[in-house]
Chain A
């Protein structure tokens, strides 16, 4: 039996999804061990091995692939526990990194500070060197200064060194030479240079990405190194792959070198999983959402292709490598509700976080939160939270909602809880709307795919608010990201900046730059064990109208060479895309090229997911009980179903509640549910045509 394992390290649980050759999949969980995440990983592997009646060595010996999503780099960034980093940059420009483009996003928050500097000014060194925009050397690199800086870094116990000079993406010679000198003085240092990490125009963004790579590189390299060794000595002889922020996977060696590509290692698998589940029903346009205790993450997927951005922030630090566009648009289940001085109800942006958390957790939280409202409205069962592992305190929730919301508004507690629930949903919906507009998209054309936890409690009203008529809650929603990891390909993004007006493009230079990227891509993917035939290349260019300051990425033909004709087609595509995104285009106006991009994909073997057998029993067999829950204007006594007992083809009409140990699905009166042939829940608005195809047992030819 050959196994594939997806491992997602979350805040509370480490999730495992194990598939075998027959397409059967099983879910396992262990508690996350934040200090040494490998411990939780091995505990879970042991549990999984036991589940198959094997010992760990036997289980791992039969495992071909492990795909791992790690939170090492994200945690190091958020907690400020990265490597002791030094930064070398161009003389005269010492502070661009920490200036952060001189922006205070929340302008009226005068009582605030920028996030702490990853590298204090005392460890930012400048050296004499300067290259101009055409790559000409204006000031040669002063190597003596580099030697001196390297020695001082060494004396200062610096572990990682970032090097980023002006215009280095046009002429990287100075950066490379500086790196050589540093590695000679500090052979064990982790070195990160901008012309390798992000050879792209825009100084602050390049600095920030390169420095962050240095800051989180050493802890990730250490972790992966020890994990690989531990797996090998436990009997694993297969391939270990690391999930990246761009929705692809890569080898541990590449991950260690480009650690900045793992900042969304876990969450990036979400949209990939979403695409998979959406495709079952033919949905190409989906919005995935994941509502956790402290955040609400949203991602848009168009034409089964996740939206990629180069403008992300993690912990307030700018990251300009391509990452899936995952927006944290709210404070999650811990969002605090209050009544302001003007008598208006507010929910968020403040959060009770994980500690003390909502009042109903009984950890001393004295502020009403969204989760408290969920409990008071009957959506959550106080005795079945996390499968009964956590007991919820209804009385505490009642008390805080009464004191802080119901009494000030002159409402009864239930109406107040309903108000909190509805306002929280409205905020999330509005935030999804803004995110859509930013991308020039209309949410009504999307299906909502909801990850586990609290998401399915709020999904239906959020969808209603947005005019979305279809919601998909995967059966594996509680290990949503682990599933996505098993479905990901190897993927590497390359970029070269070549700012030039479109009609002055030098095709020889374009060819050379693409050739350089292609060579790099082939070498990397082959080293990762991908055969040439399984490699696909995607070309894209970033264009803008002359004078604009934001580019639009336009995809080219896959596989094909980029020649003048292909560029011409991309120019047409640019005008179209600009119109789509922003409502206007200017054919005839001068256009300029900024970046050439190459995405290289190494196609991996994907697990097959087995269909469930439609049983004889009807849905009544899954009926677990009835309880009052609030819908519309009052409490209704609704059916509560045991989700794991629902079978393909079962239909439920809202209002109803479906419970799984770690997920609760609230089906509002506006929705019907059908259980599809994989056991996923498809909610569709009443009166809208339902996509039932997937609910039917599959035809033979599709199972081959």
Chain B
């Protein structure tokens, strides 16, 4: 078929409609999910694929899921080739079967016109529980994929419109939080039905041939847009490396991601060949996750107007050798890859690109380091599970803009909504003690990094299982600045027991919380951009007045002398400080 056979406006109109359909799927998920991970944290992605499983349109509420959907879609279509029927709904979560990591369950529904497969509508999201030995899906002690939870290969969950209760029951029998998983699977199935409705209306209106032609043009156009943007990056080879604190098993060993970016004309290659070998613990990154985190790093540094689809990804090559940290062999454990490893990958992308296009890149964001907790809540008479999103740290600064405060891990790029403290106290046996900005946590710079938070809570129940996961609690793994901007102190965590004794909290480790314990998180801010001594005095004064920057840091790092009592700038001393190196 000629791809030039339809008029330009129709291409744009169909593109607009396809994106709206992915939003409609997402709206349905937001409104119907039972676990706060979908509805509050928006940890999901919605997508439409064509009959060849090419990504046509996507709304990624959480960017690190972005590039992972086509792998899952292709795995499902391949497994059921010849047995895909109208009314079917498929499920997959196996990290070695095309998925990124086990908690993200992919649900996809084929869409037919007159018996011909035309599209797929997918809703993929992070479930509160997939079984296994961890807490809410996170098992820092896992040595292999089986210890991380149920592995679901491509399966039919609904067969020609009939729910397969045998499969459904088998899944629910393998999780602790049956209530949440049950509701969220229904929510995903319902959301793909909304996608099917929109796609069928589109097919009825334009016919398959016109849609195919329009999609071909949309994909090519996105490819062209990305090539244009890459063409503006100076040709060259750029390298960077960043480390993860440890893998949960070998706790004295930093694990390093090493990246070499090669820009040549309108193509770009991200080569991770020199990264560390496969780890023993759960930080191994499946290829879909490695590609996703790379795309996140690149697309966050290009025009925000680019439409992410199959075409947009064509000029990008990602190299990660089989058997390495970033493309592990089965059955290496992988759960933490969408956080710690993805963060580390994105950081290397930005630090490498900063050498070529510094003005487009952000400084490093605060990493995730907080627990999942699970147990019995005597106040509600129910089991609860909680991922402590309230701890979210600060974002990195970029040229012209301070980093965003309390925006969270970079893998969500600001899409992770913090839970409401009152609803939190209602569902979990916790009393919040502090939840506010942590002074001096933002990395100093001409543009300052965003603020991290001080988050403390008191435990009001016994025997709460706690898996602390993440990274960024060592000086080597804390956020760094770019273009002369400074980094930040690492995040800090500890437990203060009722008797006053203190217990240091390491990342990727288990703890048990008891009544009266106080858990404390001091999350890092983001890295700064540019020389802090070039930050306008007025802005430094405002930060000091607001209590975000101390007078000591203002003087020692920003070179602005402010009387801490009167909050008046000593102009002469400031000029002197700022002119001497």
Contact = CB atoms under 8 A, between A and B. Distances in A.
Interface of A: 92-96, 98-99, 101-114, 120-122, 132-133, 138, 166-167, 201-205, 340-347, 409, 411, 418-419, 422-423, 426-427, 430-431, 433-434, 437-438, 499, 501, 545-550, 581-584, 586
Contacts of B180: 547
A542 to B, nearest CB: 13
Contacts of A102: 392, 404-408, 414, 416-418
Given A94-B437, A120-B546, A583 B63 contact: no
Contact of A499 (B27, B417, B426, B436): B426
B405 A110 contact: no
A342 B27 contact: no
Nearest to B450: A102
A430 B35 CA distance: 29
Nearest to A200: B422
B269 to A, nearest CB: 21
A95 B27 CA distance: 29
Given A109-B304, A582-B28, A427 B225 contact: no
B566 to A, nearest CB: 14
Contact of B31 (A93, A499, A582): A582
Q: Which 8 A-B residue pairings sit nearest by Cβ, starting from the closest?
A: A104-B414, A342-B221, A121-B546, A419-B9, A430-B20, A108-B304, A107-B413, A342-B224
A94 B436 contact: yes
A102 to B, nearest CB: 4
B34 interface: yes
B468 interface: no
21 contacts: A92-B456, A95-B435, A95-B451, A104-B413, A121-B546, A133-B425, A138-B431, A202-B423, A341-B225, A342-B222, A343-B8, A344-B11, A423-B13, A430-B16, A434-B27, A437-B24, A437-B27, A438-B27, A499-B426, A548-B183, A549-B33
B183 A93 contact: no
Contacts of A98: 405
A633 B31 CA distance: 42
B404 A114 contact: yes
Interface in B392-429: 392, 395, 398, 400-402, 404-408, 412-418, 420-423, 425-427
Nearest to B231: A341
Interface stretch (B109-117, B186-194, B244-252): B186-194
B15 A344 contact: yes
Contact of A581 (B31, B400, B413, B437): B31
Query: For the side of the interface on B, what is the size category?
Result: 35 or more
Given A99-B406, A102-B408, A545-B34, A344 B183 contact: no
Given A102-B392, A581-B31, 15 more contacts: A92-B436, A93-B435, A95-B435, A95-B437, A103-B417, A104-B413, A121-B546, A121-B548, A167-B422, A201-B426, A340-B221, A342-B223, A342-B228, A426-B12, A426-B16
B560 to A, nearest CB: 17
A501 B382 CA distance: 12
Given A340-B221, A433-B20, A584 B190 contact: yes
A548 B31 CA distance: 9
- Residue among B7, B11, B436, B546 with the most chain A CB within 10 A? B436
B273 to A, nearest CB: 28
A92 B433 contact: yes
A96 B435 contact: yes
Given A99-B405, A342-B222, A422 B13 contact: yes
A111 B222 contact: no
B85 interface: no
Given A122-B546, A549-B36, A346 B12 contact: yes
Nearest to B456: A92
A344 to B, nearest CB: 4
B346 to A, nearest CB: 12
Contacts of A583: 28, 32, 190, 193-194
A202 B221 contact: no
Contact of B398 (A111, A121, A409, A438): A111
A208 to B, nearest CB: 12
A122 B546 CA distance: 4
B161 interface: no
Contacts of A101: 417-418, 420
Contacts of A122: 545-547
B13 A426 contact: yes
A133 B31 contact: no
B188 to A, nearest CB: 11
Interface of B: 7-9, 11-13, 15-17, 19-20, 23-24, 27-28, 30-36, 39-40, 63, 179-180, 183, 186-187, 190, 193-194, 198, 217-218, 220-225, 228-229, 299-301, 304-305, 362, 380, 382, 392, 395, 398, 400-402, 404-408, 412-418, 420-423, 425-427, 431-437, 451, 453, 456, 542, 545-548
B414 A103 contact: yes
Contacts of A111: 398, 400-401
Nearest to A549: B39
A345 B436 contact: no
Contact of B422 (A92, A121, A201, A422): A201
Contacts of A547: 34-35, 179-180, 183, 427
A418 B198 CA distance: 25
A138 B458 CA distance: 13
- Residue among A94, A121, A546, A547 with the most chain B CB within 10 A? A547
A549 B468 CA distance: 24
Contact of B415 (A104, A201, A411): A104
Given A107-B63, A122-B545, A430 B17 contact: yes
A586 B426 contact: no
A84 B411 CA distance: 38
B63 A418 contact: no
B155 to A, nearest CB: 20
Nearest to B545: A122
A138 B432 CA distance: 12
Contacts of A95: 405-406, 435-437, 451, 453
B349 to A, nearest CB: 13
A427 B9 CA distance: 12
- Residue among A92, A103, A111, A431 with the most chain B CB within 10 A? A103
Contacts of B228: 341-342
A92 B224 contact: no
Contacts of B300: 107-108, 110
B209 to A, nearest CB: 19
A581 B32 CA distance: 9
B425 A437 contact: no
A409 B33 contact: no
B426 A133 contact: yes
Contacts of B28: 437, 582-583
Contact of B418 (A99, A166, A545, A581): A99
B194 A437 contact: yes
A655 B195 CA distance: 35
A156 to B, nearest CB: 11
A93 B20 CA distance: 38
B404 A438 contact: no
Contacts of B23: 434
A548 B33 contact: yes
Contact of A433 (B24, B420, B436): B24
A321 B422 CA distance: 18
A499 B546 CA distance: 35
Given A95-B437, A423-B16, A437-B28, A104 B221 contact: no
Nearest to A204: B420
A163 B194 CA distance: 43
A560 B425 CA distance: 34
A108 B435 CA distance: 27
B513 to A, nearest CB: 19
B218 A584 contact: no
